[in-house]
Amino acid sequence: MNEQNGQKQNRPPESIADMGEFGLIEYLTSDISIQNETTVKAIGDDAAVLDAKEKLTLVTSDMLVENVHFDLSYFPLKHLGYKTAVVNFSDVYAMNGYPGQLLIDIAVSNRFTPEALEEFYTGLKMAARRYGVDIVGGDTVSSQKGMILSGTAIGYTEKDKVVYRKGARPNDLLVVTGDLGAAYAGLLILLREKETFLANPQHQPDLTPYSYVVERQLKPEARKDAIDWLRTHDVLPTSMIDISDGLSSEVIHLTRASGYGVEIFEEKIPIAAETVPALEEFNIHPVTGAMNGGEDYELLFSISQKDYEKIKNVPGFHIIGYFTEDPGAFLITQAGKKVEIQAQGWNAFSNRNKSE
C-alpha cells in the first residue's frame, strides 16, 4: 500500500485538540471527490443527500473496536482504513448490489495524532477509489480508550436483482468464491510474532514466507468481481451471504433462513497452498481453519441447477455442496462420514476473540 494520493503538503498541528472537530474533518476529507451520480451532496452540510432513483437502497454498518477486532501493535493504520471500508462494501455485494456511499465514525483517544488519522484516511480513500464509492460523511469524537470505528455503507440494486439469505431451495448448488482460511492463518501468525516480540524486543519478525495469509488478514478485498461476473452472465443467486464469521457459521445462516438443509463436501472446500503450512504450524487442520476462521470476505451463494453449466468452470468459483429437503447442515468428509456442522466461527461477545 504505497499509494500517496491524499497526503497533505502542509503539516497539521501536533494534536487533534488543536485542530478541533471541524478542522480535523476538513484536513482529512478536503481532497475527496464524487464518483457516483447517486451522490447529490456529500461532506460539508448537516447531512449527505442521495438520489437512488428507481433502485432499492441497501444500508449496512460494521463496528471495529481496538483490541477486540484489531491490534495496532501489528495493524498499520493505512491497512486498517482500507479494511474498514472493505468489510462494509462486502455486505452490499452479498445482497447482489453495488456500494455507492460510505460514512465513517471515529472515536479516538488523545494518543492519536492528526498524522495517524491521516494514515487511516489514506487507506480508507484508497478503498473508496478502488471500489468507486463516495465518502459522504460521518463523525469524529474523543474516546477514553483507544480507537473505535463504525462504517456505514449505502448501496443500490435493482428490485429484481436483490438477493437475500432466505431464497435457497432443495437441489440448489452451494458456491463459494476464492479460498478460505487464509485470513485466520494470517491472524495466528501476527499474534505469534507479537508474543515473540513482547518476550524479546530485539526480535525482528520475517513475515515473507507468510505474505499471502498476512495480507488476507490485514488487507482483504471485497468480491465486486464476482458480482460483476454474475451480472454479466445473467446468473441470479437464490441466496447469498459474505464469509465474515467463518464458513460454518455462514452455512448455518443460509440453512436457517431458507428452512432447508445443506451438505458440503470436505474435498471441495477451497484452501490456498500458502494457507496449509501456516495453519499446520499451529496444529490446525486446514479444513478446520477454513470452516471456522472467518474474515475471508468471500461470497457464499446458492444457484439453481439450471445455472450449473454457466458456472462449473469459472475460475475462482467453487461448487462445494447442495441444499436438501431435510433441515440441518452437514459436512461429508473424504472418508464418506456425515458430520453435523457446528457454528464455531467469530462470536462478537466471546472473550476468546480478543486480539490482545
CATH number at residue 33: 3.30.1330.10
My answer on whether 128 and 217 are in the same domain is no
H helices within the chain, ranges in order? 16-29, 77-93, 114-131, 182-199, 211-218, 224-232, 247-258, 275-280, 286-292, 308-311
Q: What is the pLDDT of residues 296-318, one digit of tens each?
A: 999 999 999 999 999 999 999 99
Q: What is the SS3 assignment for 120?
A: helix
Specify the pLDDT at position 354: 41
Specify the pLDDT at position 27: 58
My answer on whether 153 and 41 are in the same domain is yes
Rounded to 5 degrees, what angle do the CA atoms 41, 84, 22 make? 45
Last residue of a domain, one of 92, 124, 157: 157
Q: Percent of the chain, pLDDT > 70?
A: 85
Rounded to an integer, what distance in angstroms lies between the CA atom of residue 335 and that of residue 143?
53
My answer on whether 181 and 295 are in the same domain is yes
Q: Which domain holds residue 58?
A: 20-157
Answer whether 341's CB lies under 8 Å from 331's CB.
yes
Specify the pLDDT at position 11: 57
Instruction: State the DSSP H helix or E strand holding residue 151, giving kind and residue range, or none if neither.
Output: strand 147-157
Pick from 169, 139, 162: which is nearest to 61 by CA?
A: 139
Q: Percent of the chain, pLDDT > 90?
A: 72
My answer on whether 144 and 179 are in the same domain is no
Answer whether 290's CB lies under 8 Å from 344's CB.
no
How many CA atoms lie less than 13 Å away from 68 in the CB half-sphere?
14
Classify residue 349: in a domain, yes or no: no
Specify the pLDDT at position 12: 56
Answer whether 135's CB lies under 8 Å from 83's CB.
no
Specify the pLDDT at position 72: 95
Pick from 66, 86, 64: which is nearest to 74 by CA?
A: 66
My answer on whether 144 and 185 are in the same domain is no
The residues facing 323 across adjacent strands are 262
Q: What is the pLDDT of residues 139-158, one digit of tens each?
A: 888 888 889 999 999 999 99
Report which residue type is found at 271.
I
Largest Cα separation within the chain, whole Å, is 65
- Give the number of domains in the chain: 2
User: Please, which pLDDT band fits residue 168 given cuts at 50, 70 and 90?
Assistant: very high
Torsion of CA 313, 317, 320, 325, to 10 degrees: -90
Pick from 181, 158, 349, 197: which is nearest to 266 by CA?
A: 181
Q: What is the pLDDT of residues 242-274, one digit of tens each?
A: 999 999 999 999 999 999 999 999 999 999 999
My answer on whether 126 and 186 are in the same domain is no
My answer on whether 199 and 100 are in the same domain is no
User: Please, which pLDDT band fits residue 52 given cuts at 50, 70 and 90?
Assistant: confident
My answer on whether 117 and 85 are in the same domain is yes
Rounded to 5 degrees, what angle do the CA atoms 182, 187, 189 make? 95
Neighbour-count burial for 182-202, b at 16+ CB within 10 Å, e otherwise:
bbbbbbbbbbebbeeeeeeee
Query: DSSP character for 158?
Result: -
Question: At residue 83, does pLDDT exceed 70?
Answer: yes
Classify residue 217: in a domain, yes or no: yes
Question: At residue 37, does pLDDT exceed 70?
Answer: yes
Question: At residue 345, does pLDDT exceed 60?
Answer: no
- Cell digits for 352? 476468546
Last residue of a domain, one of 132, 157, 182: 157
My answer on whether 136 and 199 are in the same domain is no
My answer on whether 151 and 195 are in the same domain is no
- Phi, psi torsion values for 278, nearest 5 degrees: -65, -45
Question: At residue 45, does pLDDT exceed 70?
Answer: no
Answer whether 127's CB lies under 8 Å from 99's CB.
no
Say which residues have a Cβ less than 8 Å from residue 163's Cβ, sequence separation at least 6: 94, 95, 96, 236, 237, 238, 239, 240, 301
Classify residue 152: in a domain, yes or no: yes
Answer whether 140's CB lies under 8 Å from 17's CB.
no
Q: Cα 88 to the chain's mean position, in Å?
A: 7
Q: Across residues 210-215, what is the average pLDDT?
A: 97
Report which residue type is found at 138.
G
